[in-house]
Amino acid sequence: MAFMNWTDKLSVGVNTLDNQHTVLIESVNDLHAAMMKGQARAVAGELLKKLVEYTREHFAAEEAMMESVQYPGLPAHRIVHRELTKQVEEYVGRYEKGDITLGVHLLNFLSDWLTKHIQGEDKKYGPWLNEHGVR
């Protein structure tokens, strides 16, 4: 059973970005699956690095798309992206130093972060992008 599931509630109405969001959810599910199989220590470091790297790529793509249609909320959205990236990088850094283990706390943080960001911040740009021909 998946730790996180994609639902229509998470859709921002832009196919490319929805697809990228599903990849992020799959990454969290991969971390959860590794933890449940007792393989967290063996694979978590690489999975966390992959998650951070893909998050950066996704944020860059999202921001470029918003910039292309002059989304007025872009400056504020960029700040949120920087803060979220910093938080995730701090968790990964703590994990790599052995300060925290891959556990429910980290998975809940990632799940909450992703869900709240999509449903809160990302939902705001969907209608603007759609109105400017981005689907």
Each residue of 17-41: pLDDT tens digit?
Answer: 999 999 999 999 998 898 888 887 7
* CB neighbourhood size of 61 (10 A): 13
Classify residue 63: in a domain, yes or no. yes
> Which band of pLDDT confidence, cut at 50, 70 and 90, is reported for residue 124?
very high
Range of the domain at 99: 15-131
Number of domains in the chain: 1
Which residue, among 71, 51, 70, 48, has the nearest Cα to 121 in the 3D structure? 71
Classify residue 99: in a domain, yes or no. yes
Classify residue 124: in a domain, yes or no. yes
Distance CA 128, CA 35 (A): 39
* CB neighbourhood size of 115 (10 A): 17
pTM above 0.85?
yes
68-117 pLDDT per residue, tens: 999 999 999 999 999 999 988 888 888 788 877 767 777 888 899 899 99
Q: Cα 117 from chain centroid?
A: 8
Classify residue 44: in a domain, yes or no. yes
The pLDDT of residue 36: 87
Distance CA 89, CA 96 (A): 10
* CB neighbourhood size of 95 (10 A): 18
Distance CA 53, CA 96 (A): 15
Classify residue 10: in a domain, yes or no. no
Classify residue 116: in a domain, yes or no. yes
The pLDDT of residue 102: 66
The pLDDT of residue 98: 81
Classify residue 2: in a domain, yes or no. no
Tell me which amino acid residue 72 is.
P
Report the CATH number that the domain containing residue 89 is assigned in CATH. 1.20.120.50
The pLDDT of residue 2: 92
